[in-house]
Amino acid sequence: MRIIGIDPGFGRMGYGVIESSNKGRTWSALTWGCLETSAKKTLIARLQELRDKINELVKEFKPTAASVEKLYFFNNAKTAMDVGQARGVILLTLLDHDLKIYEFTPLEIKQALTGYGRAEKSQMQKMAAMVLGVKEKIKSDDAADALAGAYCAAVNFKIK
C-alpha cells in the first residue's frame, strides 16, 4: 500500500509518498520534497508545473490513495484564491489517476503525527522522520507536512 501526501500551494507544493510493507502496522517514506514554481511565471504555467509533477510522482510510485491538506485561514484573499486554484488542480490530477482522496485540516494532520494539534514546524519535521524511518533531517516544512498528511490518512482510515 502506498499513499501520496500533498501540501498544496502554487509557489511551493510539498509532496511525500509513504509505503506499508506489513499490512499497515508500520509505514516508511519512499520520497519527499518540495516543488517550487517561479514567481516570474504566470499562475497558469505554475499550475501546469504542479500537475506535471503530480503526474510524474503517481506514475513513478503508483500510490493507491492520496492525502491533501485542506485550506485554512489566510490573511490575503488573492493568495487564498491562488492556493485554492492550485488545490483544485491537485485534486483533479489525483482523480485522473483514480486515487481515493482523503482531506485533512492542518490540525488533524498534526494531531495524527504528534498527538498535539498545535505542534510546531520543527516538531512535525522530527516526528515525520522518526515515525517514517527517515535517517536524515527533512529540511522542507512543506515536505514534512505532506508526509504527515499521508501518515494521517494511513492511521485514520487503517488503509491497507
Amino acid at the residue 93: T
Q: Is 7 a catalytic residue?
A: yes
Short-list 71, 68, 80, CA closest to 14: 68
> Binding site membership for Mg(2+): which residues?
7, 69, 142
Nearest CA to 65 out of 18, 19, 4 is that of 4
Which position among 49, 69, 82, 145 bears the catalytic label?
Answer: 69
Neighbouring residues of 8: CB distance < 8 A, sequence distance ≥ 6: 68, 69, 71, 83, 86, 87, 90
Other Cβ atoms within 10 Å of 20 Cβ, number: 16
Cα(4)–Cα(2) distance, rounded to whole angstroms?
Answer: 7
Is 49 one of the annotated active-site residues of the chain?
A: no
State the pairing for strand pair 28-36/12-19. antiparallel
Choose, from 19, 82, 142, 145, the residue flagged as catalytic: 142
Sheet containing strand 2-7, edge to edge, reads 28-36, 12-19, 2-7, 65-69, 100-104
Q: Is 142 a catalytic residue?
A: yes
Give the residue numbers marked as catalytic. Answer: 7, 69, 142
